A and B are shown apart, each in its own frame.
Chain A
Amino acid sequence: MSIYLKLVKALIASVEPTAEEKGRKKIFYGIMAFIAVFFIMIPMAFLIGIIIYVLTAKLLQLGSGQNAAELFLQLTAVFSFVFGLNVIFSVFYFSGDIESLLPLPLRPSKIIASKFTAALISESIMEFIIIIAVFSGYIIASGLPFYTWIIALFGMITLPIVPLAYCAVICIIVMLITGFIKNKDTVNKITGVLTFAVIIGLAVLISKSGGLDTEHLVNALSDRNNSLIGILGVIFPHISFLMNSMTEHTILNLLIYIGINILAVAIFMIIAEAFYLDTVAGVSRSAVSKKKSLSKSISSVKAGRPSISYLKKEFRILFRTPAYFMNCILINLIWPIFLYLIYVLQGKTNFLSSFIDGINSGNEFYVLIFILGISAVSVLVTAANCIASSAFTREGSHLAFIKYIPLSYMAQINIKALVSIIISGAGMLIYVIAASLYLHLGIKLMLFCCIISLLSVAFASYFGIFMDSVNPKLIWDSELNALRGNYNIFFNMAMAIVIEGITCAGAYLAFSFTNIGSLIIMLSLLILLMILTAVSYLLCKFKATANIDKMSV
């Protein structure tokens, strides 16, 4: 047991920033953590808690009090499964520690159990907050006794086990049956794309379940034949037993819940014990490609501009590394699905339809909201794909390269920013143009929207690079670990949300409570974004370049 715990501790330490890394920037971490906690985590948890509280209060009158919380926990389990798949793949098969762990005289189940536990702990922090928010809304609305809080805390820690155990089993089986595929990166990428397909499928399933307005939701949730809860209840049966243990005041449900968790882990451990070594050994032998003749290889060598070559290098690494491909490239395609969901789920509120009608009729207020929305989404997408905010982190142990080549730091920063601008901006422009055409905005307004979007992306790109330069996470053993547990990415997102939030709120308040016309506000937004971009650029030019000098591995 002690070896297992020591392994877990060591594996978690490899994901989290080192004490030395934290120590160097204590004040920075403190400020950023404050912003992240008070501007993202607490508001989000509060919002979830309120939603569950309101729905539970209404459902109690219809005799289905636990359905809202149950569905929310089931959806959390689905997300945990979907996003966990990629993490488990990486942790089990692609992390740098495998070569050190495999020669040790340890049973495969012990190695895999420690890896699983470390992944569970480091991946579930955000999930813990969501779960406890759901329980809080539910317990308060239902007026449940005090001891249910203890069950809630127990549930908070244990609920993510079953979805991740599913991931682990699927992961080992996939590696087993794809043993014939030589390049395991391909398997990793295919799994990533399949994960993406699952998200789309889930979005379609949710969209069929009805609307987002309270009345519709309450009706759907009180329906004992609700298909979504039914399907998810079969996939994640443990959740309803945990919920029942809170409401029915019997220990039997809790024992069944614990039993299901033990069973899930036991199945996964048996499969790991039987197949992990064989499948992981396959990975070690992989990544061999066809030999090419020297003349053929050399024929592709051709002089070009340093900046173009550097740009190509950045793109190749982003697209060829499964962890970066999933988290930096594919993620750009996910947010339109959420927009689609909002559109489908607007229900009787019709807020999106009335919004679209408002824009079509040329209502200044709605047009302004649309433009502010474009700016906000552009910043969020750029921060969320973390291409900029992991620009130095991704260099990892070979960071020295950027320091000893005869290419100025600022030139390299500009190229890294350009990569972020191209990937985030290209995606945004397609959506902005499509939305503008759909809403009949006219050429001038469409161009204006494109400029706003690109400026927002440019601001977020340079700002992200600056943020990463402050304290990049350079020590990691797999590419996914460069992004996982990387506080810089989270802090950058928090800062981007705060800055963009202030900008949009300012514009909204100016329009609502002053006589300033929408045109002036739009132009002010344009100028403000230019200033923000210029400030971020200057931060990179004077601060980030100085920070690079201080970076060391």
Chain B
Amino acid sequence: MISFENVTKVYNKTIRAVDDISFNVKGGEIVGFIGPNGSGKTTTMKLLTGIIKADVGKITVNGFNVRKQPLEAKASIGYIADSPDMFLRLKGTEFLDLIGDIYRVPTDDRRKRIKEFAERFELSDSLGSPIMSYSHGMRQKIMVIAALLHDPPVWILDEPMVGLDPKSAYELKQMMREHAKAGNAVFFSTHVLEVAEKLCDRVIIIKKGHLLYDGTLDELENKNKNGSLEEIFLELTGNDKKEKELSE
């Protein structure tokens, strides 16, 4: 579903935000994308969604080349950006209607999904209000609903749990599981290792634009029997020698 082949992105000709990275995400998989601040997670997400262009490499989403077939690739993606402060002057329903029209969601499907998501996220009473009046968490919820409205085969979620209350975070995790179970791909970034531990079939760890690890958490823990996932992560992302060992 997602193919990232030898992709490099350099900012200002000096900062290699993503440096020759390759990975795949198959249908039915939930893949967590982990790394410290400034490691290149958001850049990778933006490359996948076509927000920025790769300098080198090939990216395909749902079989569509992001550069050569951008509209088809974008139509296959449900994307949650890292900031939910968007279109604050629109009402919730107006924003969802805009998204529904852009992704060509038929009226009946649109109404059904909005109703279902609004109830699951406890946003039913607020959809008719301007997004400006929403709390941060409510804005995050409406962004989640917008991203999932067209039932895309690929979910790309940048820190989707940020700002969500426990119930909504639980609902989103459930939805991610359901979506993957239906044969779709879920690729999300997170700082919360417990979320990755409980949710992911596989994790990809990135640091300073380099891919450190791509595999299951079990494999990672087997390689490092001395500590918890948190300790392994901290050692991995702060230890260049360990980084070399794992990448070998």
A: which residues have CB within 8 A of B? 287-294, 296-298, 300-306, 308-310, 312-313, 316-317, 320-321, 397-398, 400-401, 403-408, 549, 552
A-B pair count, CB < 8 Å, reads: 126
**B167 at the binding interface (Cβ < 8 Å):** no
Query: Of A289, A298, A320, which contacts B114 at CB under 8 A?
Result: A298
CA distance A512 to B98 in the complex (A): 54
- Chain A residues whose CB sits within 8 angstroms of the CB of B119 once the complex forms: 294
CA distance A287 to B90 in the complex (A): 12
A401 touching B97 by the CB < 8 A rule?
no
* B110 lies within 8 A of chain A by Cβ: yes
How many interface residues does B have (CB within 8 Å)? 49
Inter-subunit contact B94/A304 (CB<8 Å): no
Chain B residues near A303 (CB, 8 Å)?
100-101, 104-107, 110
Interface flag for B23 (CB, 8 Å): no
Main SS at interface, chain B: helix
- Given the interface pairs A303-B110, A317-B89, the reply to whether A404 lies near B71 with Cβ below 8 Å is no
Q: Given A398-B81, A549-B53 in contact, is the A309-B129 Cβ separation under 8 Å?
A: no
Question: Which of chain B's residues have a CB closer than 8 A to the CB of A312?
Answer: 94, 98
The answer to whether B87 touches A313 (Cβ under 8 A) is yes
Please, which residues of chain B bring their CB within 8 A of the CB of A288?
A: 129, 133
- Of A287, A294, A301, A397, the residue contacting B97 (CB under 8 A) is A301
Q: Which residues of A contact B179 (CB under 8 A)?
A: none
Residue B172 CB within 8 A of the other chain: no
CB distance from B162 to the nearest CB of A (A): 16
Q: Which of A298, A309, A310, A317 contacts B93 (CB 8 A)?
A: A298
A166 to B: closest C-beta gap in Å: 30
- When A291-B125, A398-B86 are in contact, do A301 and B96 touch as well, CB less than 8 Å? yes
Nearest chain A CB to B110's CB is how many angstroms away?
Answer: 6
Complex CA–CA separation, A407 to B98 (angstroms):
12
Asked if A294 and B50 make an inter-chain contact with CB atoms under 8 angstroms apart, the answer reads no
Q: Which 4 A-B pairs have the closest CB atoms?
A: A292-B128, A309-B101, A294-B124, A406-B75
Determine the residue in chain B with the shortest Cβ distance to A399.
B51
> Chain A residues near B126 (CB, 8 Å)?
291
- Asked if residues A289 and B130 are in contact (CB atoms below 8 Å), the reply is yes
Among B74, B102, B111, B132, the residue within 8 A (CB) of A306 is B102
Specify which chain B residues have a CB less than 8 angstroms from the CB of A398 in the assembled complex: 81, 83, 85-87
- Tell me the complex Cα distance, A405–B76, Å: 10
Pick the residue among B85, B100, B101, B124 that contacts A308 (CB under 8 A).
B101
How far does the Cβ of B159 sit from chain A's closest Cβ, in whole Å?
14
Q: Is the CB of A296 within 8 A of B128?
A: yes
Residues B71 and A292 in contact, CB atoms below 8 Å apart: no
Q: Does any Cβ of A come within 8 Å of B155's Cβ? A: no
Could you say which residues of chain B place their CB within 8 Å of the CB of A320?
89
Residues of A within 8 A of B77 (CB): 404
A552 partner residues in chain B, CB cutoff 8 A: 51-52
Bound together, the chains give a CA A291 to CA B133 distance in angstroms of 11
Residue numbers in A under 8 Å from B72 (CB-CB): 406
- Chain B contacts to A: CB under 8 angstroms: 46, 49-53, 70-72, 74-75, 77, 79, 81, 83, 85-87, 89-90, 92-94, 96-98, 100-107, 110-111, 114-115, 118-119, 124-130, 132-133
- Do B98 and A313 touch (CB < 8 A)? yes
How many angstroms between the C-alpha atoms of A408 and B74 in the bound complex?
Answer: 10
Bound complex: CA A408 to CA B70 (Å): 9
Q: Which A residues touch B133, using CB under 8 A?
A: 287-289
Taking a contact as CB atoms under 8 Å apart, the answer to whether B92 and A404 are in contact is no
Contact B50 A304 (CB under 8 A): no
Name the contact of A407 in the complex, choosing from B53, B81, B87, B102 (C-beta under 8 A).
B102
Name A304's contact: one of B53, B85, B101, B125 (CB within 8 Å).
B101
Given A300-B93, A301-B96, A301-B100: A294 and B125 within 8 A (CB)? yes
Which A residues are CB-close (under 8 A) to B96?
301
Note all chain B residues with C-beta closer than 8 A to A316: 89-90, 94
One of B74, B81, B125 near A292 (C-beta < 8 A): B125
For the complex, give the distance between the alpha carbons of A134 and B116 in Å. 66
Query: How far apart are the CA atoms of A304 and B102 in the complex, in Å?
Result: 9
- With A291-B125, A310-B98 as given contacts, are A404 and B93 in contact (CB-CB < 8 Å)? no
- Find the A residue at minimum CB distance from B131: A287
> Do A397 and B85 form a contact, CB below 8 Å, given A289-B129, A294-B127, A406-B75?
yes
Given A296-B128, A404-B51, 9 more pairs with CB closer than 8 A: A287-B130, A297-B127, A298-B115, A304-B101, A316-B89, A400-B51, A405-B103, A407-B71, A552-B52
Task: Check A292–B90 contact: CB distance below 8 A.
Answer: no
* Shortest distance from the beta carbon of B117 to any chain A beta carbon, whole Å: 11
Inter-chain contacts of A405 with B (CB < 8 A): 74, 102-103
Least CB distance from B41 to A in Å reads 15
Nearest A residue (CB) for B108: A303
* Cα of A292 to Cα of B128 in the assembled complex, Å: 6
User: Known interface pairs A289-B130, A297-B127. Does A406 touch B81 (Cβ–Cβ under 8 Å)?
Assistant: no
Tell me the complex Cα distance, A310–B95, Å.
10
- In the bound assembly, the distance between CA atoms of A287 and B98 in angstroms comes to 22
A292-B125, A297-B128 given as contacts; is B92 within 8 A of A403 (CB)? no
A300 and B128 CA atoms in complex are apart in Å by 9
The closest CB in chain A to the CB of B123 belongs to A294
**C-alpha gap A309/B74 in the complex (Å):** 18
A-B CB contact pairs (8 Å), 14 listed: A293-B125, A298-B93, A298-B114, A298-B127, A300-B97, A301-B93, A303-B100, A306-B102, A313-B87, A320-B89, A403-B49, A404-B51, A405-B102, A406-B70
Given contacts A306-B102, A398-B85, A404-B74, contact A291 B129 (CB under 8 A): yes
CA A285 to CA B32, docked complex, whole Å: 38
Shortest C-beta distance, A540 to chain B (Å), equals 18
* Residues in chain B near residue A305, CB distance under 8 A: 101
Q: Which residue of B lies closest to A552 (CB)?
A: B52
Q: What is the distance, in angstroms, from B195's C-beta to the closest C-beta of chain A?
A: 23
C-alpha gap A398/B133 in the complex (Å): 18
Q: Nearest chain-B residue to A404 (Cβ)?
A: B49
Residues of B within 8 A of A309 (CB): 97-98, 101-102
Cβ contacts under 8 Å, A289 to chain B: 128-130, 133
Complex: A308 Cα to B92 Cα, angstroms = 18
- Rounded to whole Å, the gap between the CB of A536 and the closest CB of chain B is 24
A288→B93 CA distance, assembly (Å): 16
Complex alpha-carbon distance, A298 and B92, angstroms: 10
Measured CB to CB, the closest approach of chain B to A481, in angstroms, equals 15
The reply to whether A301 and B107 contact each other, CB–CB distance below 8 Å, is yes
Q: Which chain B residues border A406 with CB–CB below 8 Å?
A: 70-72, 74-75, 102-103
Q: Is the CB of B101 within 8 A of A306?
A: yes
Query: Which of B53, B101, B104, B129 counts the most A-chain CB atoms under 10 A from its CB?
Result: B101
